[in-house]
């Protein structure tokens, strides 16, 4: 079945010869929602076979896909993430084929089940606590704000920031204005955890009222816990302040750090 709000039927794209046997017999649908620059396809409809996802990109996007592959390998066994089926790359292209996690996105569940929202928010907070409990000493990846600030500065200088996609409170701002505001919020006391990096409602898969997995883990690494909390809190704005407050209660924070929230939301604008 095709979700016409999120994807469209398409012909199979060219894939490396070594990947061709893995994708034979599938129907293809291209994702129309994602903003990460990669081409994302859902492979479905093959009798007796699970759905798959393929990500493909060139140049900097290929680098990001390669980083996601490495994180998927590391997270396997630690969190429910897609299983890596095959990865292939050239000097300037990358293809990442993974299994699909059955279920709907947290956004889809929250939008369609108002009565179930408190239970879903509690489950999101519990899943986030689970991820943040992974020992940082075991994690080989970094995603802290110093690392991300350096990338953000490079993106600003290269003209890659989409200012038309800023949140409403920063509508009309320039990328440089966001940069100056977030720099004024430094320094921040570090509170490092293993963070997802883009803990948004579209990257969390839910069955019933339980979180059964997360996707798009290419930014996972050691970072302040508010990297994840800020993005999820911001996503929940659409469902009302009660759900935003519930997130922090369920996570175990009585008084959210507003300075860190604002810093990480503004930093995310630059990606």
User: Does the annotation count 198 as an active-site position?
Assistant: yes
Catalytic residue among 51, 92, 198, 228, which?
A: 198
Answer whether 67's CB lies under 8 Å from 218's CB.
yes
33 pLDDT band (50/70/90 cuts)?
A: confident
Element (H, E) at 22: helix 20-23
2 pLDDT band (50/70/90 cuts)?
A: low
Model's pTM, two decimal places?
Answer: 0.93
State mean pLDDT over 27-42. 86
Q: What is the distance between the alpha carbons of residues 65 and 58, in angstroms, rounded to a whole number? A: 9
Identify the architecture of domain 7-99 in CATH. Answer: 2-Layer Sandwich (3.30)
The secondary structure of residue 24, as a DSSP letter, is: T
Is residue 39 predicted with pLDDT exceeding 60? yes
Per residue in 60-81, pLDDT (tens digit) is 999 999 999 999 999 999 999 9
Residue 115 CB burial class (10 angstroms; 0-12, 13-18, ≥19):
exposed
Which pLDDT score, from 0 to 100, does residue 268 have? Answer: 96
Q: Percent of the chain beyond pLDDT 90? A: 94
Q: Which CATH number fits domain 104-269: 3.40.50.620, 3.20.20.210, 3.90.1200.10, 3.80.10.10?
A: 3.90.1200.10
Task: Spell out the domain ranges in the chain.
Answer: 7-99, 104-269
- What lies within 8 Å, CB to CB, of 190 at 6+ separation is 144, 224
Per residue in 164-208, pLDDT (tens digit) is 999 999 999 999 999 999 999 999 999 999 999 999 999 999 998
Which pLDDT score, from 0 to 100, does residue 238 have? Answer: 97
Among 217, 32, 54, 250, residue whose Cα is nearest residue 143: 217
Residue 258 CB burial class (10 angstroms; 0-12, 13-18, ≥19):
exposed
Among 184, 252, 262, 185, residue whose Cα is nearest residue 226: 262
Among 234, 218, 222, residue whose Cα is nearest residue 268: 234
Is residue 1 predicted with pLDDT exceeding 90? no
Answer whether 182's CB lies under 8 Å from 228's CB.
no
Is residue 53 predicted with pLDDT exceeding 70? yes
Q: What is the distance between the alpha carbons of residues 170 and 168, in angstroms, rounded to a whole number? A: 5
């Amino acid at each position: 079945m095709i979700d016409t709000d999120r994807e469209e039927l398409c012909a199979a794209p060219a894939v490396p010869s070594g990947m061709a046997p893995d994708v034979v017999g599938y129907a293809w649908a291209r994702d129309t929602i994602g903003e990460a620059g990669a081409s994302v396809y859902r492979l479905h409809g093959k009798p007796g076979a699970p759905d798959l996802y393929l990500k493909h990109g060139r140049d900097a996007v290929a680098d990001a896909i390669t980083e996601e592959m490495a994180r998927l390998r590391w997270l396997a066994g630690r969190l429910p993430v897609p299983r890596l089926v095959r990865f292939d790359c050239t000097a300037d292209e990358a293809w990442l084929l993974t299994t699909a996690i059955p279920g709907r996105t947290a956004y889809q569940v929250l939008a369609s089940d108002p009565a179930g929202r408190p239970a879903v928010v509690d489950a999101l907070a519990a899943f986030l606590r689970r991820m943040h409990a992974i020992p940082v000493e075991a994690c080989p990846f970094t995603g802290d704000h110093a690392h991300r600030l350096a990338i953000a500065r490079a993106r600003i200088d290269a003209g890659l920031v989409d200012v038309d996609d800023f949140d409403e409170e920063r509508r009309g701002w320039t990328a440089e204005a966001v940069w100056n505001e977030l720099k004024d919020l430094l320094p921040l006391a570090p509170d490092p955890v293993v963070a997802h990096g883009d803990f948004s409602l579209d990257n969390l898969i839910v069955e019933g009222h339980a979180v059964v997995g997360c996707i798009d883990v290419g930014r996972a690494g050691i970072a302040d816990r508010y990297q994840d909390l800020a993005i999820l809190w911001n996503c929940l704005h659409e469902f009302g302040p009660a759900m935003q407050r519930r997130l922090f209660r369920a996570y175990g924070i009585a008084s959210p750090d507003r300075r860190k929230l604002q810093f990480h939301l503004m930093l995310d604008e630059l990606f």
